[in-house]
Amino acid sequence: MKQKVVGQVISQKEIAPMIFDMWIDTTLAGEAQPGQFICVYPKDKSTLLPRPISICEVREDRKALRIVYRVAGAGTKEFSAYQAGESIAVMGPLGNGFPVKAGEAKKAFLIGGGIGVPPMLELAKQLERVGCQVQSVMGYRNQDTFLKQDLEQYGPVYVASEDGSAGTRGNVMDAIRENALEADVIFACGPLPMLRAIKTYAEEKKIPAYISLEERMACGVGACLGCVAKTKNVDVHSHVHNARICTDGPVFLAEEVEI
């Protein structure tokens, strides 16, 4: 059940230019699942709205969670200055995450692009626990391959970079082709062009693909209808072919959404 609480910053560091890694001591960690997110509230009231940030990892004792985020505006810039011991207001866990079921898949692609990389870490951990072979395929702008070493704990990591400074020059699909990789299920998070390519690939290979959609959010709890995705089926809330990314998602079966 989602709730707003005040947690405490355990640690924070910059792990790539404008990419920050924060651990938060919070009761929300007890309910958090791979693919869900939290809303973080700035202390500067002029910023008005909370910022949705994906859950990257949950500590083993379920008493702390990790977020890895990019500084993109006033709110995230404020968060990047937080020090250990500071209070931080958060709400969550929010949204529906990735399905993790024992025996459902033998070999998985975990595909992340840019700031879509962080939610793949907790997913990799959970999939390994249920006996799924994890292959991570991560796309970056350049050689700043944040979280690569973390992901390598759970299986091989293949990298693509836009400028060719790390791994395959190009995108995640180029890395899959270059390394002749195969899987029987896909889990992905990243920019829309990447997700469109993954949806097409999954249709060609006839394998399920679960994709996490990135979208600007206002309320984060499904009330404002500000973040919607066009769907095959009628939404019971709005009675149209839309789904609320913040509550019905952010994770969808790719064949169920039009992107």
Q: Is the pLDDT of residue 187 over 70?
A: yes
41-73 pLDDT, tens digit per residue, is 999 988 878 999 999 999 999 999 999 999 999
| pLDDT for res 203 | 96
| pLDDT for res 232 | 57
Q: Is the pLDDT of residue 181 over 60?
A: yes
- Helix/strand/coil for 191: coil
| pLDDT for res 46 | 83
The confidence band for 229, taking pLDDT boundaries of 50, 70 and 90, is low
Which are the contacts of 221, defined by CB distance < 8 A and separation ≥ 6?
A: 2, 91, 94, 246, 247
- Cβ atoms of 259 and 213 within 8 Å: the answer is yes
Q: In the block, which residue shows the tokens 């679960």? A: 210
pTM, entire model: 0.89
Q: Which residue has the higher pLDDT, 238 or 38?
A: 38
| pLDDT for res 79 | 98
CA dist 26 and 87 (Å) reads 10
Percent of the chain with pLDDT over 90: 76
| pLDDT for res 84 | 98
Q: Is the pLDDT of residue 31 over 50?
A: yes
The confidence band for 224, taking pLDDT boundaries of 50, 70 and 90, is very low
In the predicted model, what is the mean pLDDT of the chain?
Answer: 89
> Considering all CA atoms of the chain, what is the largest pairwise distance in Å, rounded to the nearest integer?
50
Percent of the chain with pLDDT over 70: 85
Third-level CATH fold of 107-212? Rossmann fold (3.40.50)
What architecture is domain 3-94? Beta Barrel (2.40)
- Cβ atoms of 187 and 210 within 8 Å: the answer is yes
111-170 pLDDT, tens digit per residue, is 999 999 999 999 999 999 999 999 999 999 999 999 999 999 999 999 999 999 999 999
- Helix/strand/coil for 253: strand
| pLDDT for res 256 | 87
Residue-range domain boundaries for the chain: 3-94, 107-212
